[in-house]
Structure 1
Amino acid sequence: MRKIAYASLLIVSLLLTVSCSDSDNSSPTPPEETMYFPPSDGSNTWETQSVAALGWNQAAVQPLVDYLTLKNTKSFMILVNGRIVMEYYLNGHSATTPWYWASAGKTLTAAVTGIAQQEGLININNKVSDYLGTGWTSAPLAKENLITCKNLLSMNSGLDDSMGDSVNPSNLLYVADAGTRWAYHNVYVKLQDVVAAASGQSWSTYFNTKLRDRIGMTGGAWIASGDDLSVYWSTTRNMARFGLLALNKGKWNGVQVVNEAFFNEAVNTSQNLNQAYGYMWWLNGKSTYRLPQTQFQFNGSIIPNGPADMYCALGKNDQKIYVVPSKKMVVIRMGEAADSVNMALSDFDDTLWTKINALF
């Protein structure tokens, strides 16, 4: 009897152990390890997490803020797993004040181009003239017909980048065959015309419906800036929302807004001329890179002090979205030029990352 009783107790004990084990396995992951997405309903609700809870160096916070203030920064945010860890508004700026993205907004155009492709409206491997008709450049017809939508995404259209900002046909002159020369060029904006033509909607309408409103970037807008261009303006938190979408490879709270395969292409080297460039995203950690307005190749990473897996949306006068998958982190900086007027990259990037690294 004692043996039977002992055996019964042993079975009960084992069952309890398995039950507890199953319960542990099904318990939710701690909040700090899950990805958070703020509501897309226009509310200002956003979860936060403290520097202390992450085990970061509190003593490094104030030197970072002092540096940002000195360098004409308007706003600065750090997200980890989607939660706000740092949020500062400086030099007279506020959380509700919009600011321009400059060329950091190129990544918005890239994302919406991807959406148009996944909806079957366009194919980025098709020539641009399939959507806009011929004569959208001043290149010879045979050369114009070499230019694909992917060439515009990758900045290797072969058109002359020395003609200024206008994308009128008279300014879009042939220099080299598409795919053979990398040059940072405003001709990318023709992708907005491609999407508008293919969708039968205005660019702003399609953008708002398919991207902005789906991730709660309320109030942001494309504002005409002359030279046939529009620049995106929004609050800092709206820029952070797009950074969070980018961190999650086009997925927002379980919904794939931008096809993941396209997004992976966008944040990897898109051509063999500039390793550090995807589809309008700058890529850190590559062995060589090229810069706007030059035809020189430089050795090393674009931001040596930044994480090697980081991809960046970079705009004139130091508008920044840094996305760091290995740290599940997004960093936003808006403001005036830190030092002097620049197209995208500047020395500020590397020094800023020295200050950010001190947090860890």
Structure 2
Amino acid sequence: MKNLKFLFLLLFPIFGCEKDNAVVIPPVQVESMYFPSNTDTAWETKSLASLGWNQSAIQPLKDYLIEKNTKSFMILVNGRIVMEEYFDDHTATSSWQWNSAGKTLVSTTTGIAQQEGLLNINNKVSQYIGTGWTSETLAQENLITSKNLLSMTSGLNDASNLVITSNLTYLADAGTRWSYANVFQKLMDVVGAASSQNFEAYFNAKLKNKIGMDGFWNNGIIFKIYNSNTRSMARFGLLALNKGKWKNETIINETFFNESITTSQNINPSYGYLWWLNGKPNYMVPGGQTVYQTSLVSNAPSDMYAAMGAEDQRIYVIPSKNMVIIRMGGASDPATPNFALSGFDSDVWQKINAVIN
């Protein structure tokens, strides 16, 4: 017992000294997520220097964007503007078409209608818009659900992007073939019928106005196309970064949004509900059935999901970096038309990586 007491007295000063001289490590300060006001044009900014980015790589990025017919380019980090550039007489108030990047607006609005109990994406499309909307047999048509439209697996003929009944002929059973086509726009009819109003009115009330977007849907040559200024596209990207939450309000529930940015079928792993997904083992592109054995944009972050439209309209969302990147403009390569992925993606990410890494 005496030995134990002696040992205790011997060690106590040491322990006490370690406690007295302990290094106190301050907690890491995590920057809060910022959301711009819905009622004015104020938007917080953050300097490149504060992020430790390579400022000497900014001009080469700008030069590339100008060379590739870009109208506007934005980078947000934690919701704050780090870079906002306009080219070719385009301004912060100019509108530009989203093209197929606007498909993600339709996906989100469909999810909102489901969370309100107006529809179920697993139900057949004809339950909402009636039979005879395709030129298939009734049995074939009734296989097509809204989920098939969201995942591009309707099985309908993709020879024409003009969505009229005579073009919507049978090619495969729904769910057995992935093919990028404009038949997704029938979701707008489904939402309209389910909500007893036109799609745009429902979209405006439940999504656009909730996050302070401007913009409008116009009737394009082939389908309705959304038009807005660049900051409105960035607002939607910020909503997507936050998995459907805007400030303290849930616009689209996180469960549905997570489904949207998860592989939606077992044919093209790089496609969710009208969102493109990076970091998957392979991908397919519009206009063919070729499977490419690599990720969508191999030099971009693997957790990136993206809204992609013709002529390189882009919303890149990168959760691991709390980052949203927007690009609007003309086709980067007018000689090579594309509906989604193009050489622009890997080239611009090479330039972006030089800035942020």
Q: Does 1:147 align with 2:144?
A: yes
Q: Does 1:174 align with 2:176?
A: no
Counterpart CA distance in 2 for 1:54 and 1:207 is 36
Q: 2:123 aligns with which of 126, 136, 150?
A: 126
Partner in structure 2 of residue 343 of structure 1: 339
Partner in structure 2 of residue 50 of structure 1: 47
Task: Please report the RMSD computed on the Cα atoms of aligned residues, expressed in angstroms.
Answer: 1.3
Partner in structure 2 of residue 225 of structure 1: 220
Partner in structure 2 of residue 88 of structure 1: 85
Q: 1:258 aligns with which of 229, 252, 259?
A: 252
CA offset at residue 40 of structure 1? 1.3
Q: 1:183 aligns with which of 175, 179, 184?
A: 179
Deviations 1:218-253 (A, max 9, x none): 2x00011134x2100000000000000000000000
The one-letter amino acid of 2:36's match is: P
The one-letter amino acid of 1:119's match is: E
Deviations 1:237-272 (A, max 9, x none): 000000000000000002110010000000010000
Q: 2:309 aligns with which of 315, 340, 357?
A: 315
Q: 1:39 aligns with which of 21, 26, 37?
A: 37
Query: What's the TM-score, normalizing by structure 1?
Result: 0.90
The one-letter amino acid of 1:120's match is: G
The one-letter amino acid of 1:78's match is: I
The one-letter amino acid of 1:222's match is: W
Q: 2:66 aligns with which of 47, 69, 94?
A: 69
Q: How do residues 255-334 of structure 1 correspond to structure 2 at under 5 angstroms?
A: 255-334=249-328
Counterpart CA distance in 1 for 2:285 and 2:123 is 27
Counterpart CA distance in 1 for 2:42 and 2:265 is 40
Counterpart CA distance in 2 for 1:259 and 1:102 is 25
Counterpart CA distance in 2 for 1:344 and 1:288 is 16
Q: The residue matched to 2:240 in structure 1 has which SS?
A: helix
Partner in structure 2 of residue 161 of structure 1: 158
Structure 2 residue runs of 5 or longer lacking an equivalent are: 1-19
Q: The residue matched to 2:311 in structure 1 has which SS?
A: coil
Q: The residue matched to 2:66 in structure 1 has which SS?
A: helix
Partner in structure 2 of residue 202 of structure 1: 198
Deviations 1:16-59 (A, max 9, x none): x9xxx9xx87xxx85x7110000112x11100001001111111
CA offset at residue 92 of structure 1? 1.6
Q: 1:112 aligns with which of 109, 127, 132?
A: 109
Q: 2:243 aligns with which of 249, 256, 265?
A: 249
Deviations 1:66-86 (A, max 9, x none): 100010000000000000000
The one-letter amino acid of 1:140's match is: T
Deviations 1:107-141 (A, max 9, x none): 00000000000000000000000001100000111
Query: What's the TM-score, normalizing by structure 2?
Result: 0.91
CA offset at residue 165 of structure 1? 2.1
The one-letter amino acid of 1:310's match is: M
Q: The residue matched to 2:209 in structure 1 has which SS?
A: helix
